[in-house]
Structure 1
Amino acid sequence: MPDDLSLQLKPRLTISVDQAQSITRRIAPHASVLGITELHGGEIGTVLEIALTDAPACILKVYPESLQWKMAKEVYVLGLLENLGAVVPKILLADDTRALTDLNFVLMTKLDGTALGRREATLTETELYAIYAEMGAILRRINDVTLDSFGYIGPNGVWTEYPSNRSYMSAQLDRKLKEFCTRGGDPALAERLRANVIARQHLFDAAIAPRLCHYDFHAGNVLVTPQGEPHISGIVDFENATSADPLMDIAKALYYFTPKDAPKRDGLLAGYGGIERPDWQQTLGLYRLYCTLELWCWMAQIGKHEALADLTKELELASAA
């Protein structure tokens, strides 16, 4: 997985109606473009909705120059999740020829619904518990997909293969601690974090089989019905998917919860079902440390330096745990 020192995220790509027509003609020859709307989404790609006559609206996703490989990755991961049915987008077209646009793109089905994050403030604790239980059940189904090796998923499967979860996480920790120091983090803190993880690294060994992990499973990437009692209508944004320990996926899903979010946490874990692992809660704590380190490096990489102080405090606390 490349570590670019700087990234140009969300490419500012203007798609004309004629370009959109040329793209959509390949999947709906008789439909005409009615309009193009930029959607809010993740921090990496630009996402456009294309409305058509005589055909369902579709989604055009464009990838920045430095991350063109993520197009093939998303196609690969969505192919692994065909058993989830309509809850994940279907790829209609993937194009890396740059004949129609200057960047790689995918055209996919549009999932109905609104982001859960936009509805949460209006939901009762009971409703929050229920919708997060739905999320937990879907996350379990994603994690049921078994792969051949541990490692970060690239354009054609696992990029660098590791035979065990411990070897994968040890390599990830080394890479992120090096990046932490390169981007201005305290080397002494890095060494304390390393020692803390080494003392607990036996917890990684309980993950025997590598599983598909969404690794960005939060309310912004979950679509729900827009009115009434919420139900999940879609899961999006598989750009961060990895082949790893499902507990790492759970830890990332729980990462932003605060004490007041107990209904969300309890619902997610209840929906996910029984976790038959020794010391699984301690393992979640170990993965939380890694998630914090990873987030620190990401915020530094994209220039959000105002977030680093709080993340550093959390790393300090984690290193002393």
Structure 2
Amino acid sequence: MSNNPPLQLKPRLTISVDQVQTIIRRTSPRALVLDVAELHGGEIGTVLEIALADSPACILKAYPASLQWKMAKEVYVLGLLRDLDIAVPNVLFADNTRSVIDLNYVLMTKLDGTVLGRREAVLTDAQLFEIYAEMGAALRRINDIALDSFGYIGPDGVWTAYPSNHAYMSAQLERKLKEFCVRGGDPALAARLRESVVARQHLLKAAVVPRLCHYDFHAGNILVTSQGDPHLSGIVDFENATSGDPLMDIAKAIYYFTAKDAPKREGLLAGYGKIERPDWQETLDLYRVYCTLELWCWMAQIGKHEALADLTRELANAA
């Protein structure tokens, strides 16, 4: 394994009510802070709910020192979604001065609802199908946003622009294969994976228009109504967004589904609608290889080495 120390995420943010009050005054001079509580969820940022007297609660999200640029990225992507008919947070204030706390942070509106992941265990297959169909329709609307070039989105748009999806994903796959080896992965397996991808590279050429991809579209980032049949009430956490092939977004969304999750997969695809690509299922399989490779590298980077054996087996089966 690499000798580099694990990436430090989710900063342990110590913040006083007085500091939060100073932040709130920048957007609501008369609002009074009643309480501050950390919300669960999210691997990267620390998310706080701020309760206010006589005003709706809001959300403060702080970013780790190693990933401070993700604040500007999330603000940029939320701006792209401002006119869509789906509920996403509105940015109230973004601060990179570190004058109140020693981290970049963004203050956002709090969306109504409960995290879907907390309701799923008690939902019927029919309910799961319906809510995932709503999610699929929302993902389609996100993917309908066309961007200027393929590539990973940074603070001000696409960071490194590529002229085609094939060029972008070929570069990404090669970069992750090299990282895989640097972090202790088997070079022989990396070579087999490279050959497997090259044999299917024609699938990457079918996406010709770069589209906005959430690329972390799962039950932990979906808010639903709290009672009765669940209905979509909001989508959060756009810090992994990319400009690419919508099929890559779908592949990531269904990545963790197992056989028992068939209602979720079927619902998501039904809600998303017809995919006008003859080899779309084969393309999803190819993107799954990339998702697995990316996850292997991420787990190695953050020091979760216990997850690598299963991921290595999946890569070996795909090679």
TM-score, normalising length: structure 2: 0.98
Residues 8 and 66 in structure 1, CA contact (< 8 A), matched pair in contact too: yes
Unpaired runs of at least 5, structure 2: none
- Corresponding position: 1:156 with 2:161: no
Between the aligned partners of 1:129 and 1:86, the Cα distance in structure 2 is 19
Q: CA deviation at 1:177?
A: 0.4
Q: Which residue of 2 aligns with 1:94?
A: 94
Residues 176 and 293 in structure 1, CA contact (< 8 A), matched pair in contact too: yes
Q: CA deviation at 1:239?
A: 0.8
Q: How does 1:67-216 map to 2 (within 5 A)?
A: 67-85=67-85, 87-216=87-216
Q: Which residue of 2 aligns with 1:318?
A: 318
Q: CA deviation at 1:140?
A: 0.1
Q: Deviations over 1:128-164 (max 9, x none)?
A: 0000000000000000000000000000000000000
Q: Which residue of 1 aligns with 2:250?
A: 250
Between the aligned partners of 1:239 and 1:90, the Cα distance in structure 2 is 15
Between the aligned partners of 1:36 and 1:14, the Cα distance in structure 2 is 11
Task: Tell me the secondary structure at the aligned position of residue 55 of structure 2.
Answer: coil
Q: CA deviation at 1:170?
A: 0.5
Q: CA deviation at 1:85?
A: 4.7
Q: Which residue of 2 aligns with 1:28?
A: 28
Residues 76 and 156 in structure 2, CA contact (< 8 A), matched pair in contact too: yes
Corresponding letter in the other structure for 1:84: L
Residues 68 and 104 in structure 2, CA contact (< 8 A), matched pair in contact too: yes
Residues 224 and 231 in structure 2, CA contact (< 8 A), matched pair in contact too: yes
Between the aligned partners of 2:150 and 2:12, the Cα distance in structure 1 is 34
Q: CA deviation at 1:84?
A: 2.5
Task: Tell me the secondary structure at the aligned position of residue 139 of structure 1.
Answer: helix
- Corresponding position: 1:298 with 2:298: yes
Q: How does 1:282-293 map to 2 (within 5 A)?
A: 282-293=282-293
Residues 28 and 55 in structure 1, CA contact (< 8 A), matched pair in contact too: no
Cα distance 1:146–1:7, how it changes in 2: closer, same or farther (>3 A)? Answer: same
Q: CA deviation at 1:15?
A: 1.1
Q: CA deviation at 1:229?
A: 0.6
Between the aligned partners of 2:247 and 2:83, the Cα distance in structure 1 is 22
Q: Deviations over 1:233-257 (max 9, x none)?
A: 1100001000000000000001000
The two structures, once aligned, show a CA RMSD in angstroms of: 0.9
Q: CA deviation at 1:5?
A: 6.2
Q: Which residue of 2 aligns with 1:43?
A: 43
Q: Deviations over 1:42-88 (max 9, x none)?
A: 10000000100121110000000010000000000000001235610
Q: Deviations over 1:248-305 (max 9, x none)?
A: 0000001000011110000000000000012000000000000000000001111111
Corresponding letter in the other structure for 1:33: V
Q: Deviations over 1:12-62 (max 9, x none)?
A: 111101000000011111111000000012100000001001211100000
Instruction: Tell me the number of residue pairs that the alignment of Structure 1 and Structure 2 aligns.
Output: 316
Task: Tell me the secondary structure at the aligned position of residue 202 of structure 2.
Answer: helix
Between the aligned partners of 1:55 and 1:26, the Cα distance in structure 2 is 15
Between the aligned partners of 1:109 and 1:282, the Cα distance in structure 2 is 40
% same residue = 78
Between the aligned partners of 1:139 and 1:229, the Cα distance in structure 2 is 20
Cα distance 1:119–1:180, how it changes in 2: closer, same or farther (>3 A)? Answer: same
Q: CA deviation at 1:8?
A: 1.1
Between the aligned partners of 1:109 and 1:86, the Cα distance in structure 2 is 14
Residues 86 and 138 in structure 2, CA contact (< 8 A), matched pair in contact too: no
Between the aligned partners of 1:130 and 1:246, the Cα distance in structure 2 is 21
Residues 252 and 288 in structure 1, CA contact (< 8 A), matched pair in contact too: yes
Between the aligned partners of 1:267 and 1:83, the Cα distance in structure 2 is 25
TM-score, normalising length: structure 1: 0.97
- Corresponding position: 1:226 with 2:226: yes
Residues 7 and 303 in structure 2, CA contact (< 8 A), matched pair in contact too: no
Task: Tell me the secondary structure at the aligned position of residue 78 of structure 1.
Answer: helix
Q: How does 1:258-269 map to 2 (within 5 A)?
A: 258-269=258-269
Cα distance 1:203–1:253, how it changes in 2: closer, same or farther (>3 A)? Answer: same
Between the aligned partners of 1:236 and 1:285, the Cα distance in structure 2 is 26
Q: CA deviation at 1:6?
A: 3.3
